[in-house]
Amino acid sequence: MQRSAFRKSLNLLDLTFLGLGSIVGSGWLFASQGAAAMAGTEAWIAWIIGAVIFILLGLVYAELGAMMPRAGGFIRYPQYTHGKLAGFFLGVTAMLAYSSVAGVEVEAVRGYASKWWPALGSQDLFHPSTLGVFVEIILLIVFFLINYWSVNVFGKINSVVTAFKFIVPLLTVIMLLANFHPANFSVGGAHPGGISGVFQAVSLSGIAFAFLGWRQSVDFGAEAKNPQRDIPIAIILAILLATALYILLQLSYLGGVPTDLLQKSGGWANLQFQQAPFAELASAVGLLWLTNLLFVDAVISPSGTGNIYLSGTARVLFAWAKTGLFYSWFGKVDKRTGIPRGALWLSLILSVLWILPAQLSFWQGLVGAVTSATVLTYMVGPVSLHTLRQTSPDMHRPFRLGGMQVIAPLAFIGSSLIIYWSGWQVNVMLITIIIASLVLYFAFVDRDDLRGRIKEDWRGAAWLFFYYIFMLVVSRFGNYGQPKGWTATIPQPWDLLIVVVGALVFYYWGVQSKLPQPEIDTDEEDEELASIRPADV
């Protein structure tokens, strides 16, 4: 069987910085202000909730990623355990989630750059001019070229950029804590505030969005030097380092705002720095040098994340093509460079398409959608892990998750809550697209193969289809993201209880819907991974 030519170039530091560099993007620049507006002085609790959920997911994928390091593993594991239809659903979702992020990040870069080059914006930070859109496209092309030549060059450049963009927010924390105002924690005025504000902040302020990048260590697993050891460590390190940084940033924001400015604004919901929250806050307390440094970092930080996501999108498209449910040309790796160049070209095109509607407000309008779509790709992982423990107990597991039978269901519940908190307006758009994509499934799948296994594939994916319907219904009658004039039918906290109970039902339905034996491909792996043989599974 012919093997692909992925180069084993990434070490533990590279993988950790891939995750950390993707996590620390534009999220930290905006999310602290958004969380404070929704949850007030309890905003730091929202960061802890988000961190716990993503640590649970990270532990699940630490075992999966070390056991089966695959390019774009997130959309391949569900197909291994539940068949082609389940893999197709995840492929569509991942394409939506991944391809949009590079556009979101270059929008942030362009917005901050408009501080020095006002012609890049038409109204404010979030509205690009025609010139601004052109500059965003140029940035995407630069990312494309960095990724086009070598994964080794890409990994080293990312490590340097990540080191810089981690130092700047840490310096911001130190300086703002030196100007801390404890009286701020007695000021109210958040909207909606309370526990509802905390939950809403997790999904809609940018908190969950700020954690999404941890998965890059899994996506680049086929290019790691020692994936079985390094992937689990890289995932956990990236999440823990980012969590510590984000909580410190949130506390420094809450305490760093001048108390008189906060009171004059009428509370947290009305305190809105128009261009750049941390940079303008630094200016308000007289730290002009930090203001300038933050504007520089605000260009570099999202650039690093956009660069990673453009490359990550190519791996996802590659993985989708490898499942046989997308054009095979995108599942090929260039022999000279070890790069899936066809998929990288499509990644560039899709990213450009996201930024063409120049008047869209990306950070305000897309973060919730990107978050929900991305978590929809994560939530099947716990089910796949549980099923592999049952069907393949003897498969080599360099990292074996202790307490899996508790952690995996909790990770699934946490994912479902984030999706629910994203709200009706986000979920109706995403889930409708996913369900409508069934038309493409029947267009791509081989007719003879379809007739032979349609019942088996439907059995493996039916739980996922009805899970989408369930989340759509509970979002419609719940308390988050409803259009003006709509009222919630399910009161709190009963809506959360319904989501939790429903998630458990679908989780165990998913576990029971597994294939009798996983269908694991090995054609892209090197000799070290050839030990995962059909006879072993």
72 conformational bin, left if phi > 0, alpha if psi -120 to 50, beta if neither: left
405-459 pLDDT tens trace: 999 999 999 999 999 998 888 888 889 988 888 877 777 666 566 566 677 888 9
pLDDT at 398: 81
pLDDT at 366: 61
465-502 pLDDT tens trace: 999 999 999 999 988 877 777 877 888 889 999 999 99
Distance CA 15, CA 258 (A): 39
Count the neighbouring beta carbons within 10 Å of the beta carbon of residue 406: 10
Is residue 86's pLDDT more than 80?
yes
Evaluate whether 35 touches 176 at the Cβ level (below 8 Å): no
Handedness of CA 525, 526, 531, 533 (dihedral sign): positive
Residue 363, C-beta contacts closer than 8 angstroms, at least 6 positions apart: 26, 30, 104, 107, 108, 111, 126, 206
SS in 3 state form for 326-385?
CCHHHHCCCCCCCCCHHHHHHHHHHHHHHHCCCCCCHHHHHHHHHHHHHHHHHCCHHHHH
362-409 pLDDT tens trace: 445 567 778 888 899 889 999 999 999 999 998 888 888 889 999 999
Nearest Cα to Cα of residue 396 among 228, 213, 222 = 228
279-305 pLDDT tens trace: 888 988 888 899 888 888 877 777 777
Count the neighbouring beta carbons within 10 Å of the beta carbon of residue 240: 14
Evaluate whether 396 touches 59 at the Cβ level (below 8 Å): no
15-64 pLDDT tens trace: 887 778 778 766 777 889 989 999 999 999 999 999 999 989 988 988 88
Lowest-pLDDT choice from 85-89, 220-224, 317-321: 220-224
54-80 pLDDT tens trace: 989 988 988 888 888 776 677 789 989
> Higher model confidence: residue 348 or residue 448?
348
Domain ranges of the chain: 12-360
pLDDT at 529: 33
pLDDT at 20: 80
Record the pTM. Answer: 0.81
Report how many helices (DSSP H) and strands (DSSP E) the chain contains, helices first.
22, 0
140-184 pLDDT tens trace: 998 888 777 655 555 566 667 767 777 888 899 999 998 899 999
State in words which class domain 12-360 has.
mainly alpha
> Higher model confidence: residue 114 or residue 447?
114
